[in-house]
Structure 1
Amino acid sequence: MIKNHLTIAFRSFLNGKGYSFINVTGLAVGMACAILLFLVIRHETSYDLAQSRLDRIYRVETENIKENHTYPGTYTGMANALRADLPEAETVAPIMQRGGKTMVAGMPATGMPATGVPAAGVPAFRESVVFADNALFRTLDYTWVAGDPARALSQPNAIVLTRGYAEKYFGTVDVLGNTIRMDNKQDLTVTGVVEDYPATTSFPFNMLVSFATVKQVDPGFEENKWNGWNDNFQVFVVLKNDVAPEQLIGRLESVVVKYMGKEALSDKRFKLNHLSEIHYAGNFGGRSANVGLLKTLSVIGALVLLIACFNFINLSTARAFKRAKEVGIRKAIGSNRKALIYQFLTEAGLITFFAGTVALVLSVLLLPVLAAALAIPLAVDDLFTGSTAIFTGFLLLMTTLLAGIYPALRLSGMAPIWALKSNATVRAGQWFSMREGLVVVQFAVSLVLICCAMLIDRQLDFFRNADLGFDKSAIITVGLPDNKPEKLHTLREQLIRSAQIRGVSFSFNSASAESNWMQAMEYREGPKVVQVKTQMKMGDSHYFDTYGIRMLAGEPLKDSDTTRNFRIVVNEIFLGRIGIANPRAAVGQRVYYGDGNEFATIVGVVRNFHVNSLHQKIDPTIIQVVPNNFYQAGIKLQSEKPTSASIQSALADIEKAWTGAFPDQVFEYSFLDETLAQAYQSETRTARLIEAATILAVLIASMGLFGLATFTAEQRTKEIGVRKVLGASVGSVVALLSRDFLKPVVLAILIASPIAWYLMNQWLQNFEFKISVSWWLFAVAGSLMTVIALVTVSFQSLRAAMLDPVRSLRSE
């Protein structure tokens, strides 16, 4: 029987080549989407899950209650506080990441040459390093190639390398005792080598430097600071067995009271976030998975596959009249319904098998493109793993059942007498209603995707063109490995000599940056005390001119504003938080750092500017001169729209001046507008994926509509011939055939528009600054969908209308 079912299935497949092509193509595209999205989702949800202590590892996060926002970073005093006040913690591991370090391999065992300058020809690299202690090795799993995990990071100036980095710097893993010079200051002794980290880790650390080295790198680092934090400093804990994080709420509140004061409880809370969750928030990996995007991808993949299955159902039931006599004869000679169901499911399975083969080929071709678009380390080999094979097998089975079960039940359910009648197709009207409903669903899904793609593109255009309150164009940023005043003075003098450079500013970071310094500030007016969580922007006297930040009152900063009682400039939001309405009235007021006695005097007020991406509100902001925290140079070019030649000339001048000030350092630069655009990578990727899914969904739906139009034209060939003999024009015949297909499209527009409006409004809630959803967007999308349907149907309608009526009347 199996051989018989397969033989008949092959015959049916070959007898309807056009319909088979549409079904195979549609299902192949849908299944390829499902397979590729499975690989993406599997990758993004597998981060850190292989850790042996996974169930007990948590990150301590800082929640600002009033803003309802949680930060991955915390205070530098947190590690010692937890060691002293959290007995439920088995291990406390602080981690601090610093980027932009120039690293040079030293001489084996004896360190660098006596001059302190790397030997000529020794390559230097710009690296990100992580400061940690041995607690890290009791928290995360490392496979050791050489060294002792209990002592590797115990002493100052110790470094542990991954295998890849040991070979990168020394050409071998036998490197214990060798040295690496950091920023031409510290000689770090290699005390360990570990295997390279897996792709699915939130801790891609290649260089681990002992925490005891921090004070030598940054003399201003405070180990027990409680009035400011940075997301680059994070603390992880391994809880003891049978300790649940819910049990520690009181403990963490006690930490707030002990180190920050009872009054801080109203605004501050510390939380424990499980290790498996940190890939979806800020982490050291530099990229986070977007849960909403993953869910969206899952739904889109399912919908594209569903649309393809609907094509199969529609075309199978539409062609049912051609199988009616076959079903009737089979039943008349004794075949039961069960055997017929098996037969039709075999046909569906054969088409699904061919589609699966094509889907695999498409997946191999498209996976590199998708991996590059999403910046995910996926390779073709990932398609040939056990889990992918299981998923693909399950997908083939489900697609066969989803696409084949309804046609099988409908076709096998025909009564023999009715099926053998010559006018059996009259009863097919009920099936047409079902097909019409499926067409509505197909085009409704396509229309929702079109609306979403259009609106996301509009939001991205808003991001690109929004007024940020400062000038982001024609600014090049360069890291500063040394912020000694004499160095910076020399660098500025060299830079401003270039005809291509208008201005130079040294600062902690740019006017807008994802990595920021948060500081608790107080405004005291008699007994009244107002606490404000403030973002610190540290820049020199040229900061405002370079970034085009506009003053509203007072005066800009001076490079001499570095005394103990600082002079500062604040933004309008800060004034609003402390209750001062008039910017001029704020000049001369004092604000205090935390709850201490150190204060700063407001000397100026600037217009609000976006210190963060447009995802977030504008923070209360203070700008002050702190040369010890100048880590970046912002260089404004002369022209707002520089040519390629002028940019290259400016870069040559910048590199020459920078290299002269910092010899033996690695020169790197970036354009500020490109750096800021990276904050919207997730939305950009979402837009590209939805656009691709929209094209596929519309293509599959149009192919199905084309197949139905072909079938309808075949069914009504004689009617068309009669109408033309009686004088009907080609236009009237085309209108007649097209009208029935436009009805479900119009209904799809009415259904899809409110769904798309709701979904887009929900998506826009992720942004503090956003566009509004306009009615014309749905009108444009609906018109586009109507045109696509008309073009699809009109081809077959026109072909049928232009057929010779004599041939039409002979069709039966």
Structure 2
Amino acid sequence: MIRNYVKNAFRNLTKSKGYSFINITGLAVGMACAVLIFLVVRHETSYDRFHTNGNRIYRVEGENIKEKHTYPGTYTGMTNALHTDLPEAELVVPILQTRGSTLAVPNSDKRFKETFVFAGNELFHLLDYNWVTGDSRTALSQPNTVVLTRAYAEKYFGTTDVLSKTVQLDNKQDLLVVGVLEDYPATTSFPFDILVSFPTIKSAKPDIDLNRWNGWSDNFQVFVLLKNGINPAQLTRRFQHIVVKYLGKEALADKRFFLNSLSQIHYGSNLGGRSANIPLLKTLSFISLLVLLIACFNFINLSTAQAFKRAREVGIRKAIGSTRLSLVYQFLTEAGLLTFLGALTAILLAQISLPAVATTLAIPLTYSDIFTWQTALFASGLLVLTTLLAGVYPALRLSGMAPIWALKNNVSLPHKQWFSLRQGLVVVQFMVSLILISSAFLINQQLDFFRNADLGFDKSALITVSIPDNKPEKLQALRNQLIESPQIKDVSFSFNSASAESNWMQGMQYRKGVETTDIKTQMKMADSHYMATYGIQLLAGEKLKDTDTSSASFKIIANEVFINRMGISRPREAIGQRVYYGDGQEFATIVGVTKNFNVNSLHQKIDPTVIQVVPNNYYQASIKLQGEKPTAGTVQAALAHIEKAWTATFPNQVFDYSFLDQALAQAYQSETRMAKLIEASTFLAILIACLGLFGLATFTAEQRTKEIGVRKVVGASVSGIVILLAKDFLKLVLLAIIIASPIAWYAMSQWLQNFEFKVEIQWWVFALTGLLTAGIALLTVSFQSIRAALVNPVKSLRTE
């Protein structure tokens, strides 16, 4: 029986090659899309699941209650506080990440610019590591020791037999290699290749206060391993006590500490530098489902449209004793065969597309990920689901035909509904396409806004270079050499750029009589050239001088947001006001007020910000080139001069640089990826919808062949016949436009809520989308309509 079902299925598929091709292509594209998104989602949701104690590991995070913003970094004093005030913690593990240091092999030319972490031996008891060599109990317990991964041991020494060998940090400090770890898996939020012992901080970073409760950085994070049976929700009072004890009772209104589980770290800021975007994953999953449904709708439409061709077959089978159930099995077998062929094609399409998807999303997916038991299980389930989605309704519809009606001549559908399921499915298909097209338009508008927005400073023609040594004589020597170049306009030394992802946050306090106002402030520690180099506008007061470093008379320049938090609206009124560092007695005097500039990405509002001269915290040189748009030759000449001057000032260091505008663009990677993926999904959705429309138009033209012949005989024009055949489809597209536009508007207005600075949604986007979709649909239908209209009426009517 089954063999007979399969044989008949093959016969029917080969009999209608065109419709079979459309169905297989549509299903293959839909299923390939689903498989690729499955691979992406599976990868992103598998991070950090291999750690034995993963369900007890948490990161201490802070929340600014008033601004509803959380921070993965915390105060350096948190480590000691947790040891003292959180007895529920079995382990407390601080990690400090540092970037831009030079590591070298002594007496060799191997020298690299590296990112590494300072960590204690507790890290190896917190997370699961596989050791090549070394002792996990003592490896990072002593100062000036380092542990490498296998890849980095081979990178530096060409072998993993490296115990007791040394690497040199920033040309001044030897680190003894005490262990080698197996390379970490791709699905980790802790991709550390170089781990330097935490006690080394005292000598390598003497300016870092490890018991500080005023100012923090996201590069310093603290993890805890809770004791068995402890629920983190029970520790709210513990953290409230920590706030009161170390920050003061008044801080409770604006500061909260909490524990974030290890399973959630990959979906936020982490030391790995790459996080998953949950809204993006949900959007991709939803889009892949829609694309698959569109392909299934095509199958349903084309299957039910051909009902009259199968009517006589159904009538004869029923007349000779076939039951409705056996007919259902027959039609489901055909659907299953089509879906199986589509699945085979989908695997091929997924293999071809995987490198592009992996590159776009920056995910380390390979061909081997397709051929795993998880993917095979998903594909099998998808095969069954698609067969049922695409095949059940046509099977029930075709098998339900009455034998008497089915055997009549010139059969047509027994009931003519005012709005059929087939028309409804066409509307849904084009609704999805319209929503995707308009979403792609609006996302690209927002990206254009990001690229062209006025940030309050000039990001063009700016090159940033890290500084390994911030001694004043070194920096002055570098400046003197740099400004000798005619291509260089100005040079500034600072902690970071005017807008940066990694920032120094500082608690400030404004006191007016007995009233105090706490202001969470972003510190821009920079020299006197900073504002000129970045083109930041001074509204009132005077600029800073490089000599404004005396603790007895600290001077700062504040932005408009900062003075507004003080309760001052006019910039001139802020000049001369004192603000205090936290709740202590150390203060600074405001000598200038700048116009607001975006210190963060455009996702966030502008923080209260102050600029202060702090030479000990200069880690970056910002170099402004002449002209807004220097030529390639000018840039190359400037870079050659910068590298020569930098190397002369910092010999035996590794030179690297970046363009500020390119660095700022990294903040919008998620939106850029979403735009690319929605554009690709839009193309696929339209392709599948148009394939289905093409099939329906072909079928309609076949059905009305004789009608077209009669109309041509009595004088109908080709254009009239095209309009006759196309108008019914265009009505459906028009209905789809009317329904899809408000849905798309709502969806995009919700998406835009993620940004503090955003574009306005314009009506013309939906009008343009509608015209574009209607044009594509008309083009698709017209091809078959014109072809039918050009047929010689003699051939159309010769059987009459």
User: Which amino acid in the other structure matches residue 532 of structure 1?
Assistant: I
Q: Which residue of 1 aligns with 2:539?
A: 552
How many residues align? The count is 799
Deviation at 1:805, TM superposition (A): 1.0
Deviation at 1:428, TM superposition (A): 6.0
Once the two structures are superposed, residues 661-696 of structure 1 have per-residue CA deviations (whole angstroms, 9 ceiling, x without a partner) of 111111100000000000000000000000000000
Q: Which residue of 2 aligns with 1:41?
A: 41
The match for 1:176 among 149, 163, 186 is 163
SS state at 2:109 partner: coil
User: Which amino acid in the other structure matches residue 481 of structure 1?
Assistant: P
- The CA distance in 1 between the partners of 2:480 and 2:94, in whole Å, is 40
Once the two structures are superposed, residues 130-157 of structure 1 have per-residue CA deviations (whole angstroms, 9 ceiling, x without a partner) of 0010111111111111111121111111
Q: Which residue of 1 aligns with 2:78?
A: 78
Once the two structures are superposed, residues 370-395 of structure 1 have per-residue CA deviations (whole angstroms, 9 ceiling, x without a partner) of 10111000001100011000001111
- The CA distance in 2 between the partners of 1:279 and 1:789, in whole Å, is 43
- The CA distance in 2 between the partners of 1:660 and 1:746, in whole Å, is 69
Q: Which residue of 1 aligns with 2:268?
A: 281
The match for 2:677 among 686, 689, 701 is 689
Once the two structures are superposed, residues 239-278 of structure 1 have per-residue CA deviations (whole angstroms, 9 ceiling, x without a partner) of 0000000110000100001111111100000010000001
- The CA distance in 2 between the partners of 1:698 and 1:268, in whole Å, is 50
Deviates more, 1:686-695 or 1:730-739: 730-739
Contact 1:717–1:811 (8 Å) recurs in 2: no
Matched, 1:800 2:794: no
Deviation at 1:301, TM superposition (A): 0.2
**1:407-418 superposed matches below 5 A:** 407-418=394-405
Q: Which residue of 2 aligns with 1:701?
A: 689
Matched, 1:363 2:350: yes
Deviation at 1:315, TM superposition (A): 0.3
The match for 1:451 among 418, 435, 438 is 438
User: Which amino acid in the other structure matches residue 695 of structure 1?
Assistant: F
Matched, 1:487 2:474: yes
Distance 1:523 1:622, change over 3 A: same
Contact 1:153–1:211 (8 Å) recurs in 2: yes
- The CA distance in 2 between the partners of 1:606 and 1:412, in whole Å, is 77
User: Which amino acid in the other structure matches residue 590 of structure 1?
Assistant: R
Q: Which residue of 2 aligns with 1:337?
A: 324
User: Which amino acid in the other structure matches residue 703 of structure 1?
Assistant: L
- The CA distance in 2 between the partners of 1:185 and 1:72, in whole Å, is 31
SS state at 2:621 partner: strand
SS state at 1:228 partner: coil
Q: Which residue of 2 aligns with 1:132?
A: 119
User: Which amino acid in the other structure matches residue 49 of structure 1?
Assistant: R
SS state at 2:274 partner: coil
Q: Which residue of 1 aligns with 2:510?
A: 523
- The CA distance in 2 between the partners of 1:381 and 1:497, in whole Å, is 54
SS state at 1:200 partner: coil
- The CA distance in 2 between the partners of 1:269 and 1:608, in whole Å, is 28
SS state at 1:425 partner: coil
Matched, 1:212 2:199: yes
**1:306-705 superposed matches below 5 A:** 306-427=293-414, 429-430=416-417, 433-564=420-551, 565-705=553-693
- The CA distance in 1 between the partners of 2:92 and 2:774, in whole Å, is 62
TM-score by length of 1: 0.98
User: Which amino acid in the other structure matches residue 15 of structure 2?
Assistant: N
- The CA distance in 2 between the partners of 1:145 and 1:423, in whole Å, is 79
Deviation at 1:126, TM superposition (A): 0.6
SS state at 2:556 partner: strand
- The CA distance in 1 between the partners of 2:136 and 2:274, in whole Å, is 28
Q: Which residue of 2 aligns with 1:14?
A: 14
Q: Which residue of 2 aligns with 1:116?
A: none
- The CA distance in 2 between the partners of 1:670 and 1:737, in whole Å, is 59
SS state at 2:414 partner: helix
Gaps of 5+ in 2: none
Distance 1:30 1:426, change over 3 A: closer
Deviation at 1:424, TM superposition (A): 2.3
Once the two structures are superposed, residues 459-499 of structure 1 have per-residue CA deviations (whole angstroms, 9 ceiling, x without a partner) of 00000000000000000000001100010000000000011
Matched, 1:269 2:256: yes
**1:56-135 superposed matches below 5 A:** 56-106=56-106, 119=107, 121-135=108-122
- The CA distance in 2 between the partners of 1:75 and 1:46, in whole Å, is 30
Which runs of structure 1 show a deviation greater than 4 angstroms over 4 or more consecutive aligned residues?
none
Q: Which residue of 1 aligns with 2:180?
A: 193
SS state at 2:420 partner: helix
- The CA distance in 1 between the partners of 2:116 and 2:588, in whole Å, is 33
- The CA distance in 1 between the partners of 2:272 and 2:318, in whole Å, is 64
- The CA distance in 2 between the partners of 1:74 and 1:421, in whole Å, is 80
Once the two structures are superposed, residues 621-644 of structure 1 have per-residue CA deviations (whole angstroms, 9 ceiling, x without a partner) of 010011110000000001211111
- The CA distance in 1 between the partners of 2:377 and 2:554, in whole Å, is 65
- The CA distance in 1 between the partners of 2:136 and 2:776, in whole Å, is 64
Contact 1:105–1:122 (8 Å) recurs in 2: yes
Contact 1:103–1:183 (8 Å) recurs in 2: yes
- The CA distance in 1 between the partners of 2:594 and 2:385, in whole Å, is 61
Once the two structures are superposed, residues 205-235 of structure 1 have per-residue CA deviations (whole angstroms, 9 ceiling, x without a partner) of 0000111111212211111111111000000
**Overall identity of the aligned pairs, in %:** 69
- The CA distance in 2 between the partners of 1:166 and 1:352, in whole Å, is 50
Once the two structures are superposed, residues 480-523 of structure 1 have per-residue CA deviations (whole angstroms, 9 ceiling, x without a partner) of 01100010000000000011100000000000000001000001
- The CA distance in 2 between the partners of 1:745 and 1:811, in whole Å, is 35
Contact 1:459–1:771 (8 Å) recurs in 2: yes
Contact 2:308–2:413 (8 Å) recurs in 1: no
Q: Which residue of 2 aligns with 1:294?
A: 281
Deviation at 1:423, TM superposition (A): 3.1
Matched, 1:789 2:777: yes
Contact 1:180–1:187 (8 Å) recurs in 2: yes
Deviation at 1:429, TM superposition (A): 3.3
Gaps of 5+ in 1: 107-118
Aligned-residue CA RMSD (Å): 0.9
- The CA distance in 2 between the partners of 1:38 and 1:791, in whole Å, is 34
Deviation at 1:184, TM superposition (A): 0.5
TM-score by length of 2: 0.99
- The CA distance in 1 between the partners of 2:139 and 2:558, in whole Å, is 45
- The CA distance in 2 between the partners of 1:265 and 1:780, in whole Å, is 52
Distance 1:769 1:445, change over 3 A: same
User: Which amino acid in the other structure matches residue 663 of structure 2?
Assistant: T
**1:146-185 superposed matches below 5 A:** 146-185=133-172
User: Which amino acid in the other structure matches residue 456 of structure 1?
Assistant: I
